[in-house]
Amino acid sequence: MISVEFFRISKNAWGQETLLGVSWDLIWVFIGAAVLFILVHIIYKWLFAPKKSEV
């Protein structure tokens, strides 16, 4: 089984866990979430948002 570490954690001098970084494997998840959010927003604006009338 493949094990991927999404978060790199280390301990500092006082024994507390500190975050060193995040795996680059997660970047595609965030890119996909951003694209999905933009598409849902565009569809909402086209279908449900009230139209502004110009006066």
In this prediction, residue 55 has a pLDDT band, given cuts at 50, 70 and 90, of low
pTM, two decimal places: 0.57
Tokens describing residue 44: 């909402």
Q: What are phi and psi of 6, to 5 degrees?
A: -80, -30
Position 7 scores a pLDDT of: 81
For the four alpha carbons of 45, 51, 52 and 55, in that order, the dihedral sign comes to positive
Residues in contact with 5: Cβ distance below 8 Å, sequence separation at least 6, in sequence order: 23
pLDDT value at residue 16: 94
8-52 pLDDT tens trace:
889 999 999 998 888 888 888 899 999 999 999 999 999 988 777
User: Looking at the chain, which runs of residues are DSSP E strands?
Assistant: 7-11, 17-22
18 token code pair = 């500190």
